[in-house]
Amino acid sequence: MKIFLDSSDISEIKLINKSGLIDGITTNPSLLAKQEGNFKKILKTIATEVKGPISAEVTATHSNKMIEEAKILQKIAKNIVIKIPLTLDGLIACKYLTSKKFKVNVTLCFSPSQALLAAKAGATFISPFIGRLDDVGENGVQLIQDIKTIYKNYNLKTEILAASIRSLDHVRQVMQIGADVITIPPKIFGDLYRHELTDKGLESFLSDWKKSGKQIS
């Protein structure tokens, strides 16, 4: 499974990317709006730091304007992936852009039928928002399973990018289902490797070693 970081905070991205475990980045207008400075420079810096796919989202709502913005965003860096909302205009733009060899991440997916249309439009990634579905009483993780089944039935190559992940339980479930990618905020990344028993075990080992008076040299 690929792990993307859902962030536009350059300092956070650089710190976590030192692990060598980050395969890509997803951003959105809300995340970029929180950062000071020119958004193009921010995206350029991110795309230089992380060599994998960097999702940058259009803000237009009409397909023609989406395509214009996509061309601007794609010029920022070679690894930019154009992020487009799952609307009819978005699907039209996706179909055009993928025909021109753009990589496209279709976002704000909340149903299996939407995911099917995005794949037929040539989307590189589909981003189902599981946490937001949970918020309204639906089963977000089940949507990942439904999409995976549909894509397997028809041999569709669009990668399932599980988004709006709120907890380690979400991560566990989508890993078990077999999502191609997860995108997670920095806090959830930290939760992936932290465990109370790991901390206690390390503390015990180091305490015993200190008492022995021995050194590794």
- With helix as H, strand as E and coil as C, how does the chain read? CEEEEECCCHHHHHHHHCCCCCCEEECCHHHHHCCCCCHHHHHHHHHHHCCCCEEEECCCCCHHHHHHHHHHHHCCCCCEEEEEECCHHHHHHHHHHHHCCCCEEEEEECCHHHHHHHHHCCCCEEEEEHHHHHHCCCCHHHHHHHHHHHHHHCCCCCEEEEECCCCHHHHHHHHHHCCCEEEECHHHHHHHHCCHHHHHHHHHHHHHHHHHCCCCC
Parse the chain into domains and list their residue ranges: 2-207
Tokens representing 69 are: 């913005």
CB-CB contact of 80 with 74 (8 Å): yes
- Report phi then psi at 27, rounded to 5: -125, 170
Alpha-carbon distances, residue 9 vs 16, 37, 60, 174 (angstroms): 11, 11, 23, 25
State the catalytic residues: 83
Residues 42-91 have pLDDT tens digits of 999 999 999 999 999 999 999 999 999 999 999 999 999 999 999 999 99
Residue carrying structure tokens 């932290």: 194
- Name the pLDDT band for 217 (thresholds 50, 70, 90): confident
- Name the pLDDT band for 212 (thresholds 50, 70, 90): very high
Residues 2-51 have pLDDT tens digits of 999 999 999 999 999 999 999 999 999 999 999 999 999 999 999 999 99
Determine the CATH number of domain 2-207.
3.20.20.70
Cα–Cα dist 23/17, whole Å: 9
CB-CB contact of 48 with 80 (8 Å): no
- Name the pLDDT band for 161 (thresholds 50, 70, 90): very high
